[in-house]
Structure 1
Amino acid sequence: MITQRAPFPIVTKAIKLFGDWLKQRRELHELMEYDEEFGTLEPVARELNVAPTDLDSLVRQGPQGANELPSMLAALDIDEATLRRAEPALLRDMERVCSFCAHKRRCDQELAAHTTAVNYVEYCENADTIDALRLTN
């Protein structure tokens, strides 16, 4: 049996990273165009329940800004889909907090080591919310 490997995995990863960066640049450009056209980002920010300054920062973080949150929730036996249906605003707020987190490296390490459930309270800025969610489960 012949197993197929992706040719040139480093090149493939570089192309994906460049594509992600390009997408983020387009989103920033669209945000700036909207701001120039309408003079304010407040309606968009209000719709997303964030401050206008946070909106700019969130777009700069890119779509991967809260990548750790689904894994964190799964590691702590919190069903993201159920949370999304029951408390969409709460989940969006958790994503916002996760996007601004300064402890991403530690979070990634804990997730990889499967020690999240033991140590998340030490570094996760969503720890209080997670604790409250875990009490309701």
Structure 2
Amino acid sequence: MNTAAAVPKPGAAKPDKGAIARFIDAWRDRRELAAMAPGELDRMLGDAGLSHTDLPSVLDHARQVGVLLPAALTLHGVDADALAHERLDLLRDMQRVCSGCRSTAACRRFLADGNAAEHARICPNAYSMDRLDGVCG
């Protein structure tokens, strides 16, 4: 399966982002943070399974979640929409794992090439995607 179209080229329209990626965009917009009710940041972090100490790493690596994870799911035969409907808890865990991954350049390259075997070798979510193939795909 070729997913080259699933990994957008620079300047292309961006697909819908995952919950964590949307949160990160809001985090970067200081006006939105300033407008948050007391305790709202803690609630949002808790909902995402994160703590304040996770933020630096997540901020550095979260942008790929909204682009690379859906492409990876497709490459590995998993329907992201079905996964979100059937196992939202697992999808959120996969988003968290993806946001902490340090192999984004290789991931992007393997996804663009449609190389599932090489992608599986570097992806920390590969085991989960392999187990979901055919279940949510």
- The interval holding the TM-score normalised by the smaller chain is 0.5 to 0.7
Give me the whole-angstrom Cα distance separating, in 1, the residues matched to 2:134 and 2:29: 39
In the superposition, the TM-score normalised over structure 1's length comes to: 0.64
1:107 shift after superposition: 0.7
Specify the SS of the correspondent of 1:93.
Answer: helix
- Aligned match of 2:83: 83
Give me the whole-angstrom Cα distance separating, in 1, the residues matched to 2:40 and 2:55: 11
Structure 1 segment 71-110 matched on structure 2, within 5 A: 71-110=71-110
CA, structure 1 residues 39+91, in 2 after alignment: closer, same or farther (shift >3 Å)?
A: closer
Contact 1:34 1:41 in 2 (8 A): no
CA, structure 1 residues 110+70, in 2 after alignment: closer, same or farther (shift >3 Å)?
A: same
1:111 shift after superposition: 1.0
Structure 1 unaligned spans of 5+: 1-12, 17-22
1:79 shift after superposition: 0.4
Give me the whole-angstrom Cα distance separating, in 2, the residues matched to 1:107 and 1:120: 6
CA, structure 1 residues 92+31, in 2 after alignment: closer, same or farther (shift >3 Å)?
A: farther
Bigger radius of gyration: 1
1:130 shift after superposition: 1.4
Q: Which one scores higher on RCO, CA 8 angstroms, separation ≥ 6? A: 2
Say whether residues 1:122 and 2:99 are aligned partners. no
Q: Letter of the aligned partner of 1:76 in structure 2? A: H
CA RMSD of aligned residues (A): 3.3
CA, structure 1 residues 60+103, in 2 after alignment: closer, same or farther (shift >3 Å)?
A: closer
1:112 shift after superposition: 1.4
Work out the number of aligned pairs and report it: 115
Contact 1:28 1:59 in 2 (8 A): no
Contact 2:73 2:79 in 1 (8 A): yes
CA deviations 1:28-62 (Å, max 9, x no partner) are 52575378x73784322222232333356435556
1:119 shift after superposition: 1.8
Which has the larger displacement, 121-130 or 74-83?
121-130
Give me the whole-angstrom Cα distance separating, in 2, the residues matched to 1:44 and 1:24: 13
Structure 2 unaligned spans of 5+: 1-10, 15-23
1:135 shift after superposition: 7.0
Q: Letter of the aligned partner of 2:127 in structure 1? A: D
Judging by fraction of residues, say which structure has more helix: 1
CA, structure 1 residues 94+129, in 2 after alignment: closer, same or farther (shift >3 Å)?
A: same
